Amino acid sequence: MTTLDCRGQRCPLPVIALAKAIRDTPVGGIVRVLADDPAAAGDIPAWCRMKGHEFVGRSGVTFEVRRSGGTT
C-alpha cells in the first residue's frame, strides 16, 4: 500500500499526486491519500469515477483508492 501525505495541499494537488502514484500501483492495490482540503472529499471520489478506479472510502482525512483496470 502506498500512502501519500497531502495534508496542507489544496486541490487539485492531492488528486495529481494520486494520479501519479496509481500508475505504479498494481491492479487491486491500494493508494491511501491523507488530504485535509475539504474539496478532496468531492474531488477524489469524482476522479475515481472518471478514471474507473474504486473509491474504497474515507475516514477523517484518510481516503483509500483501489486501482482497477481503469485508465491512469
User: What pLDDT, in 10s, does the model give residues 36-67?
Assistant: 999 999 999 999 999 999 999 999 999 999 99
Give the structural domain span for 11.
2-57
Record the cell numbers describing residue 2, joined without a space.
502506498
In a domain, 42, yes or no: yes
Q: Which helix (H) or strand (E) holds 47?
A: helix 40-51
Asked if 11 is an active-site residue, the reply is yes
Q: Is pLDDT of 70 > 80?
A: no
Chain mean position to CA 8: 15
Query: Is 67 contained in some domain?
Result: no
User: Residue 63 domain-assigned?
Assistant: no
Q: Please write the tens of the pLDDT for every residue from 25-36.
A: 999 999 999 999
Whether 15 is covered by a domain: the verdict is: yes
Q: Residue 7 falls within a domain, yes or no?
A: yes
The catalytically annotated residue of 4, 11, 35, 40 is 11
Q: Which CATH number fits the domain that encloses residue 30?
A: 3.30.110.40
What's the total number of domains in the chain?
A: 1
d(CA 38, CA 9): 11
CB 55 within 8 A of CB 13: no
Residue 69 lies in a domain: no
